[in-house]
Amino acid sequence: MTAPSDDQLMLMYRAGDPRAFEQLFDRYSGMVYNYARFALSDPDAAEDVLQESFLSVADAAEGYEPRGFFKAWLMRIARNMCLNRLKSATARRQRVAALDLTAGDPPSRDQGPSEALETRERMDRLRGLIAALPENQRDALLLYAVEQMSYNEIAETMDAPVNTVKTLIHRARAALARSFE
């Protein structure tokens, strides 16, 4: 039996089945947290965004229109919450100062210590460069490369045309590559 689609789960939740909402949480909580963690560079703030995003989804369930874009809708809510936080001066300072995103890295299983360190250093460098990208480029790249969303989904998430999203992503890749020449 195939798993119910996101839209089906939302409709089931609306009809009074809270387990459907739990399935949606299980399906996407990792993605929302990971995105918020990258975007905010702050684990506590990322946890808040995760919680608030799903509370908002529950509150807005009645008005949800099942058009096959639940993931994009959810990520748009999460992104708006991240942007709201980044608007505050405190959050902005934290973002610049706290680029230490390495604490949550899972330990590498098949690398020796020096290789693992090298990989970690490369990842740290890449994360630092990503964090320094312009906001739109950074978000488009994270959704594309880390969250593996399609161009269409990212366009829906960012409320931007698909071609704009492609341009943002390729510009971001080019900007990162300049630092690796």
Partner 1 sequence: MDCNVSYEELARFVAGELDDERTREVFDHLRVCESCRKRRIALETVDAGLAEMPRIPLASRTGEEIKGKVLAHAQRSTPCECGAATAVEAESKQSVIDKAAPFAKAKRRGRFVLSGEAVNIALIVAMVSIIVIAALRSVGERANGTMTSVSENLPS
**What are the residues binding partner 1 (CB under 8 A)?**
13, 18, 21-22, 25-26, 29-30, 33-34, 37-38, 47, 50-52, 54-56, 58-65, 67, 69, 72-73, 76-77, 80-81, 84, 101, 104-106, 119, 122-123, 126-127, 141, 145-146, 156, 166-167, 170-171, 173-174, 176-178, 180-181
Nearer to partner 1 by Cβ, of 2 and 62: the residue is: 62
Helices 162-178 and 151-158 cross at an angle (nearest 10°) of 100
Separation between Cα atoms, residue 95 and residue 122, nearest integer Å: 20
Q: In angstroms, what is the minimal distance from the CB of 170 to partner 1? A: 4
DSSP letter for each residue of 18-37: HHHHHHHHHHHHHHHHHHHH
Q: How far is the CB of 118 from partner 1 (least distance, A)?
A: 12
CA distance 71 to 179: 32
- What is the closest distance, in whole angstroms, from the C-beta atom of residue 86 to partner 1 in the complex? 13
Residue 68 φ then ψ, to 5°: 85, 15
* Comparison of 2 and 87: residue with beta carbon closer to partner 1: 87
- Cα(70)–Cα(179) distance, rounded to whole angstroms? 36
We find the least distance from the C-beta atom of residue 141 to partner 1, in angstroms, to be 8
The nearer residue to partner 1, 1 or 87, going by C-beta atoms, is 87
Quick one: 107 or 113, whose CB is closer to partner 1? Answer: 107
Q: Give DSSP secondary structure letters for 76-130.
A: HHHHHHHHHHHHSHHHHHHHHH----GGGPPPPSS--HHHHHHHHHHHHHHHHHH
For partner 1, give the closer residue by CB, 47 or 135: 47
Decide if 131 contacts 138 (C-beta within 8 A): yes
CB of 75 to partner 1, least distance (A): 9
Helix, strand, or coil (residue 111): coil
